[in-house]
Amino acid sequence: MKIRTHKELEVYQLAFNVAVEIFQLSKSFPKEETYSLTDQIRRSSRSVCANIAEAFRKRKYPKHFVSKLSDSEAEAACPVK
């Protein structure tokens, strides 16, 4: 079966589900963290999905593909910069 879109990738689906879960969990964070910690964690989790999607679109270009996957891994490993 040929994968036609990044949304069919299992890794994308997992990352998306985790991003949704992080969003839900972060709703319970203290209000004073809304524009710092909470915002950074939410943006980082969404970035993983975005980088996977971009890597899929750039898969014909090995160096760019690997670069985007590396970006995804970095965002997943360290959500708060």
Question: Looking at the chain, how many residues does it have?
Answer: 81
pLDDT tens digit string along 4-49?
Answer: 999 999 999 999 999 999 999 999 988 888 778 888 888 888 888 9
User: Buried (b) or exposed (e) across 49-81, using 16+ Cβ within 10 A?
Assistant: bbbbbbbbebeeeeeebeebbebbeebbeebee
pLDDT band at 78 (very low <50, low <70, confident <90, very high): low
